[in-house]
Structure 1
Amino acid sequence: METEWAHVGRLWTNGDPFLAIDSELRHLWRGFSDDAYFDQIVELPLDTQHVTLGDAVAAVVGADGVVRDDSWVEVFEAADGTIAVVQAAGDDYRRALDDALRYPDAGDDVGALIAVPSGQLAIFSAACDGAGEHSMALEPARRGNPPAEHGPPSREADPGLVLTTGVASYRLKIRWYTEIDDSSCFARWLLLPEPPA
């Protein structure tokens, strides 16, 4: 994909995926309190990478255990509003991220339509609640340079992200474990702005 990307944040996973949902609807997810993580996420088929919460739909993004188990997941945003969630591994981490972002999306799995009427997208661990005492803190996305190295986990609790995009809905596209070369691989979740009907 020939697109200019800005790195806007990173998320740490111990193997648990993340949910991407309208920020104002995240309280509907009770992954911890009601065991929704175990009931709805753990056995989720690869071809059904979303969950329904009443009338809302949340995308399941950001964890491919073949790429890595414990891992940073990098979040990027393009000028057209596309969001890329990338999990990568390789001797040259920055190059693996760049290659993942450039990789064509024609063969990606096409997923659900995610409505974001507030224009703010929250991304947080599916093992937590979306809000309340069992939720993870969320930080605003910040533009910066992608990390040059994968690096170890931080010593503190890692937050989720909130992206203010103004996009009303996204189409999910997923590329599972993909080898770049003998030492590099990635998985990628794209949230593509959906034109108004």
Structure 2
Amino acid sequence: MDLKDLKNLVRKGEGSQLEFKLKAKHPEKIIREIVAFANTDGGTLLLGVGDDKSIPGLKFADDEEFILVQAIEKFCDPPINFQLERMAITNERDILIFTIPQSNEKPHFVKLSATEPPKAYVRVQDRSVQASKEVKQILRRENEEGIRFVFGEKEKVLMEYLAQHQNITLEKFAEIAKIPLWLASRTLVLLVLGHVLRVQPNELVDTYVIY
């Protein structure tokens, strides 16, 4: 990537596979983006670029690199592979380009301390959102072969509901199918893995739509 490519990339703005950060001031927050990229479709983090698409660069790129690389290695579990490139934009300022591929070891977690529960994140448009229990199960099993499920009464109720509504939540499915939450959860996960439904992760409540 050269400077022209960088400017063209920044011009597109943040999205599902692109994130801007001015500095590594709060690395414990930035690694959420790293984890979300690894758990979703991969992505690029540009350090030294503002949310407003400005490109001031980093005056002390060595320090910024050390802080963020150390955080990635310390707080991401399991470890995340990434590539790091440095690009000079002036004689005194650089951009750090972190490229994170989609992982084959999902889900990855941010694990800040032994007393705080680890949290997984996924990328939704230009945001990184915390993964629910169902999304974590889907990530863990998405490459599993031979997913099988029985299309019974509860699945019939679900599909009839979705024929008339845009989406459904876990709680709503349990309610209309008159089944416990654990069974509704397991059913939705299997239907997503079987490419019948698609999950739409959200910080408040996930929704499910027909694939």
Same fold by TM-score greater than 0.5: no
Which structure carries more helix by proportion? 2
* Bigger radius of gyration among the two: 2
TM range (shorter): under 0.3
TM-score, normalization: structure 1? 0.24
Q: Which of 1 and 2 has higher RCO (CA within 8 Å, sep 6+)? A: 1
TM-score, normalization: structure 2? 0.23
Which structure carries more strand by proportion? 1
